[in-house]
Amino acid sequence: MKQLTVFIENRMGRLEEVTDILSKNNINIICISLADTSEYGMLRMIVSQPAAACEVLCNSGFSALLTDVTAVKLPHHFGSLKKLSGLLSSNSIDISYMYALTSGDDAAIVIKTSDNEKAEALISEEYEILGASKVYNM
């Protein structure tokens, strides 16, 4: 699955500009994460049309790129995330970052790892990986 990452300056209205461009191009934001530093923000999103979103934002002067990530459905009970992180760690796969994804009644996360292909193979043995087309259409 592709994640859209947009680098935005920390100034009033910049996030609104991004969401306005996406809205005007009929691109739905499925989930979003914003982390900031003193000078800029890193906006990570799963959107309904990642390639189109990247193109319209770049054409509007934003620095945007697409990154491969994995969406994992987790059971809603104690220790689910610990079990997943332990599985990856014991196989020498580092989790670079993660954020929540709404998937109805179940918990789900988006993760970026040091080896997405290996991580997905391991994860799929015990968890449901949400495919791109399913997530893009949430």
Question: What domains are defined for the chain?
Answer: 2-68 (3.30.2130.10), 71-131 (3.30.70.260)
DSSP bridge partners of 109 = 72, 100
As given in the structure block, the two tokens for residue 59 are 């054409």
* Highest mean pLDDT, choosing among 19-28, 34-43, 101-110: 19-28
Look at residue 131 and tell me whether its pLDDT is greater than 90. no
Distance CA 60, CA 17 (A): 10
Look at residue 105 and tell me whether its pLDDT is greater than 70. no
Q: Give pTM, 2 decimals.
A: 0.85
**Parallel/antiparallel/unpaired status of strands 128-130 and 106-113:** unpaired
Which residue matches tokens 């332990």? 86
**Radius of gyration in angstroms for the set of CA atoms belonging to the chain, rounded to a whole number:** 16
